Amino acid sequence: MVLIKRLLNIFHLPLSFSAGFSLLEVVFAMTILAIALGSILGIQTGSLRATAHAKHLQIITLLAQSKMNETKLELKRSFEEMPLKKEGNFAPLYPQYRWEREMKALNFSPLTQVISQYFQSQEGGTQDIQLINEVFKYFSETIREIKITIYWKKQTYSIATYWVKLNHEMQSL
């Protein structure tokens, strides 16, 4: 206490300044501290949530790629041998994730109709129409859309790709 009195005398400060902080100053400082700590905790919580979500997205992406690779191996056979729809889960490693695979042929009939109407209005268009119908029939037989959907909690994630059967021969006209 003697040291404080000497310092106060050196700087010519009255003794009342050495008594401490007022209640209003303490409350104001505590309010600022509470706001700062609340903000830091909110940022940290958001960061943890984002990290957990990113982890689940990474798992979902890897599981979908894995299912697509399995499908690729199954497609070594013909399209006709594969089921149009298949589903399951990733137990025992990831039992909370489910998957569904859907395969469907592409429908070119609306496009075929539009092109046929155009060629019907042209001279000699009937032969062109027959050729176009055969080309789109070939596309329908050789191209499939494969869609893999991963379900996790109430969320759904899907990837799709198109497979072409290259060894399929087109029927001659």
Amino acid 158: pLDDT: 94
Domain edges within the chain? 20-164
Question: What's the start-to-end Cα distance of the chain, in Å?
Answer: 111
Q: How far apart are CA 66 and CA 153, in angstroms?
A: 20
Mean pLDDT for all residues in the chain: 84
What would the pLDDT profile of 137-154 be if each residue is shown by its tens digit?
888 888 899 999 999 988
Report pLDDT for 164.
86
| DSSP sequence for 116-134 | HHHHHTSTTHHHHHHHHHH
Judge whether residue 6 has pLDDT over 90: no
Q: Which helix (H) or strand (E) holds 24?
A: helix 23-74
Over residues 53-75, the pLDDT tens digits come to 999 999 999 999 999 999 888 88
pTM value?
0.66
pLDDT at 5: 67
